[in-house]
């Protein structure tokens, strides 16, 4: 779930794919190379891993209770993520596309708002911890 290794969308699509499903939806959150006109070099993520993974599991369970999902896979990077690289990958499969589309949207929003993962934006001339979850 949380890893310092690079993320592969193909790996997560494979995890959730099934012949019984008509849809696999995904979102890949990547590090932008700019912020308010300043060049961004990377993001640095850190987390309290046991709590973060517990919260992600709860979010996935809530998504499963709201929509008819076959499978969900979530991975979030820790450490340095260079501009252009994925920082988060979420995939969900379902019989019908609307369920998996709704689920991935819900999961990314919930992760950003509720999971204790903090990020520091490293720019060309400065760095800044971005506002995040208050625990």
Tens-binned pLDDT, residue by residue, of the chain (135 aa): 999 999 999 999 999 999 999 999 999 999 999 998 999 999 999 999 999 999 999 999 999 999 999 999 999 999 999 999 999 999 999 999 999 999 999 999 999 999 999 999 999 989 999 876 544
pLDDT at site 131: 77
* Token pair in block for residue 106: 């819900």
pLDDT number for residue 110: 97
Sign of the dihedral defined by the CA atoms of residues 87, 81, 11, 1, in that order: negative
Please return the burial class of 82, using the count of CB atoms within 10 Å of its CB with bins 0-12, 13-18 and 19+.
Answer: middle
**pLDDT of res. 14:** 97
The pLDDT score that the predictor gives to residue 135 is 46
Q: Say if residues 89 and 26 touch (Cβ distance below 8 Å).
A: yes
Integer Cα distance of 121 and 132 in angstroms? 12
97: CB partners within 8 A, 6+ apart: 22, 23, 25
């Amino acid at each position: 779930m949380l890893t310092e290794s690079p993320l592969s969308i193909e790996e997560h699509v494979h995890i959730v794919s099934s012949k019984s499903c008509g849809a696999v939806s995904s979102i890949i959150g990547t590090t932008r190379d700019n912020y308010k006109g300043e060049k961004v070099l990377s993001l640095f993520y850190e987390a309290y891993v046991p709590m973060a993974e517990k919260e992600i599991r709860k979010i996935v369970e809530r998504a499963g209770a709201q929509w008819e999902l076959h499978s969900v896979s979530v991975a979030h990077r820790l450490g340095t993520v260079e501009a252009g690289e994925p920082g988060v990958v979420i995939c969900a499969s379902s019989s019908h596309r609307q369920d998996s589309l709704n689920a991935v949207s819900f999961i990314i929003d919930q992760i950003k708002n509720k999971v204790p993962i903090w990020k520091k934006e490293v720019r060309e001339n400065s760095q800044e911890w971005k506002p995040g979850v208050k625990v």
